[in-house]
Amino acid sequence: MKVTAKELETLIVNKLMKAGLKEEHAQVVADVLVHADARGYHSHGAMRVEYYAERIAKGGINTDPEIQFEKNGPAAAIFEGDNGVGHFMAKKAMEEAIAIAKENGIAVVGVRNISHSGALSYFVEQAADEGLIGISVCQSDPMVVPFGGAEPYYGTNPIAFAAPSSNGEKIIFDMATTVQAWGKILHHRSKNEPIPDSWAVDENGESTTDPFKVKALLPIAGPKGYGLMMMVDILSGVLLGLPHGKHVTSMYEDLTEYRKLGQLHIVINPAFFTSADLFKEKITTSMEELNQVKPKEGYDRVSYPGQRSEERAKKAYEDGIEIVDEIYEYLVSDVVHNNQYDNKDPFAK
């Protein structure tokens, strides 16, 4: 069914506040989730609300965190989230990174001890909206078999990038270092739809098209994806003195425990390297030239990264956002959560 962005945002805020989250924090979470749903990233949209609500209600997210921000050099800083809700912490940390990059040309801000923060595209877009380049990486719990392995070690460990153009549009990409994000498989489960056989493996390490038989995910491009997820784990975990690799806390094992996750924002000010206007003009040229590339059979055009998702978002904000009926029914109900995520095997049905 379709709902307006405003209605969806209000429903999410109300549900999270009922679970115990502050309104200011709930508002940011809702903004990030609506951002994702509007762009078609349903794996990071409203379908996550009940999980967050259960974790908040059970104490696994700090609802009254003591935020600390410490600059350790002209361009380096640590944002301590005290295990508060990740979306709010990541947004605030990006705001600090933007301020540093505007003054010093570059910023590297580690976001330490947070919960799941949702779609990284939201945070890098913050930088692009200010005329800056944004890069963000974050760790996640082990769900991926390393290249040549038969059991999970790393998480889906996503990477996001954004850059501004001279026409107001932005190049944005947000990718898991797996062939597909786990949340995407959850989305297919919610719609009872099969998945491509290249996404994941079953308990025997064999490819599966049944989202309910998934026991581990596959890295993108084999050893290349494996290397990228290792890099993300080092930058957002090891570098920040946090649990890493197979030691990263499970999303579902114990919802009363803090997750202690890490994220790293890198922001670059083009004005310190070239003319800011020239930079944006060249980005615009690249976008236009990519659209002019002859498409192969079966494709209507070549799009630049983020173009189709932004087009979907514009349409969604005008015509309504499509969400699963069951999720809407939960959001409008009086139920905080149905106690279905705690101590759950993440691959269980």
Q: Which of 35, 42, 87, 116 is catalytic?
A: 116
Owner of token pair 């506040």: 17
* Radius of gyration of the CA atoms of the chain, in A: 20
Collapse the DSSP code of 285 into the 3-class scheme (helix H, G, I; strand E, B; otherwise coil) and give the result: helix
Q: Residue 196 burial (CB < 10 Å; 0-12/13-18/19+)?
A: exposed
Nearest CA to 121 out of 145, 96, 90, 89 is that of 90
Cα distance from N-terminal residue to C-terminal residue, the chain = 24
User: Where are the strands (E) in 44-196, listed by range?
Assistant: 68-71, 76-84, 106-114, 133-138, 159-164, 170-175
The length of the chain in residues reads: 349
Q: Are the C-beta atoms of residues 268 and 108 closer than 8 Å to each other?
A: no
- Exposure string over 206-238, b if 16+ CB within 10 A, otherwise e: eebbebebbbbbbbbeeeebbebbbebbbbbbe
Is 116 in the active site?
Answer: yes
Nearest CA to 85 out of 42, 58, 55, 110 is that of 55
Which helix (DSSP H) or strand (DSSP E) does residue 123 occupy?
Answer: helix 121-128
Question: In sequence order, what DSSP letters do the residues of 2-36 get, joined into one string?
Answer: EE-HHHHHHHHHHHHHHHT--HHHHHHHHHHHHHH
- Give the up-direction half-sphere exposure of residue 85: CA atoms within 13 A in the CB hemisphere: 31
Note the Cα 189 to chain centre separation in Å. Answer: 19
CA dist 190 and 212 (Å) reads 10
Angle formed by the axes of helices 121-128 and 23-38, nearest 10°? 90
Written as one letter, the residue type at 314 is K
Catalytic center residues: 116
